[in-house]
């Protein structure tokens, strides 16, 4: 039986907003909707939020994003066959399984476009370098798999991917590893446009009364969770504490 590691990279101080409602509701979504009898949650950071039950969550001392990536790659030696990579502002919106069609489908936004003009943004410069390297590997055009959705990786291939990036001096700071991984190791996995599966309601839309079919994940960043409508909707969707939280006093 395959074993899944659910891995969260978290800001070094344990989150941007005090209680970190992003992570709170994200963990509740995992507890409610991830259909897997054998998974463990890992959080890579410098300091865990105070409300986390450190007995139920595996703490990984990782002060930066690349440290989290390297720590996750080592899980191949600890019996974990796959990694479900979650950002703290990712939420499951429907039941999914690591072996099911939702997580086994690689989501994308289309071709990873080349940018010829001088690029001032550091993140965009790194994506351009990554694109150039993928083209050198014979992948033309590379696909943009950076959708900020949950990513399911095979642990061994994930470790190989990081080694290949490291050999090209691409594993520095924060980089779109998902773009490299799925372009290099896509294999027979199906692909789909991310927008078809993401539940969203940008301003000024109000939260939906029900979750439409096929919309199995969400992404709400901290500034949106501060909106009463969004926060209230999430608290209604996930009202019960997860097993990863300490009991409230």
Residue 248 has pLDDT above 90, yes or no: no
Are residues 32 and 26 in contact, defined by beta-carbon separation less than 8 angstroms?
no
pLDDT at 236: 93
pLDDT at 70: 95
pLDDT at 1: 61
CA torsion sign, 139 to 133 to 192 to 86? positive
Residue 210 has pLDDT above 80, yes or no: yes
CA-based end-to-end distance of the chain:
38
- Going by pLDDT thresholds of 50, 70 and 90, the confidence category of residue 4 is very high
- pTM comes to 0.94
Task: State pLDDT tens for residues 69-109.
Answer: 999 999 988 999 999 999 999 999 999 999 999 999 999 99
Q: Which residues contact 10 (CB under 8 A, 6 or more apart)?
A: 20, 23, 43, 44, 45, 48, 88
Are residues 90 and 26 in contact, defined by beta-carbon separation less than 8 angstroms?
yes
Find the mean pLDDT for residues 242-248. Answer: 92
pLDDT at 120: 72
Task: State pLDDT tens for residues 134-180.
Answer: 999 999 999 999 999 999 999 999 999 999 999 999 987 778 999 99
pLDDT at 87: 92
Q: What element of type H or E holds 199?
A: strand 198-199
Q: Which of 218, 139, 211, 235 is nearest to 180 (CA)?
A: 139
Task: State pLDDT tens for residues 13-63.
Answer: 655 545 688 899 999 999 999 999 889 999 999 888 889 999 999 999 998
Where is pLDDT greater, at 142 or 213? 142
Query: What's the full length of the chain, in residues?
Result: 249
Are residues 26 and 225 in contact, defined by beta-carbon separation less than 8 angstroms?
no
Calpha distance 35→20 (Å, rounded):
24
Task: Name 191's bridge partners.
Answer: 106
Phi, psi dihedral angles at 108 (to 5 degrees): -150, 170
pLDDT at 115: 74
Are residues 151 and 179 in contact, defined by beta-carbon separation less than 8 angstroms?
no
pLDDT at 19: 65
pLDDT at 18: 52
CATH fit for domain 4-237, picks 3.90.550, 2.40.128, 1.10.287, 3.40.50: 3.90.550
């Amino acid at each position: 039986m395959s074993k899944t590691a659910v891995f969260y990279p978290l800001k070094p101080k344990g989150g941007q907003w005090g209680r970190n409602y992003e992570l709170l509701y994200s963990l509740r979504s995992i507890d409610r909707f991830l259909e897997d009898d054998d998974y463990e949650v890992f959080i890579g950071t410098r300091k865990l939020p105070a409300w986390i039950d450190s007995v139920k969550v595996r703490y990984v001392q990782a002060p930066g994003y690349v440290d989290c990536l390297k720590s996750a790659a080592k899980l191949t030696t600890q019996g974990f066959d796959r990694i479900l990579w979650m950002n703290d502002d990712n939420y499951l919106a429907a039941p999914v399984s690591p072996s099911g069609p939702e997580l086994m489908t690689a989501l994308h936004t289309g071709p990873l476009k080349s940018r010829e003009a001088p690029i001032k943004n550091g993140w965009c410069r790194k994506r351009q370098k990554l694109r150039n390297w993928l083209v050198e590997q014979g992948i033309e055009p590379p696909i943009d798999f950076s959708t900020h959705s949950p990513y399911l990786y095979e642990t061994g291939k994930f470790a190989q991917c990081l080694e290949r990036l490291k050999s090209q001096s691409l594993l520095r700071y924060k980089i779109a590893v998902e773009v490299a991984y799925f372009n290099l190791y896509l294999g027979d996995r199906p692909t789909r446009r991310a927008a078809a599966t993401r539940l969203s309601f940008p301003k000024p839309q109000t939260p939906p009364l029900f979750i439409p079919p096929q919309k199995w994940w969400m992404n709400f960043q901290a500034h949106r969770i501060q909106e009463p409508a969004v926060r209230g909707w999430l608290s209604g969707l996930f009202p019960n504490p997860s097993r990863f939280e300490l009991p409230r006093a």
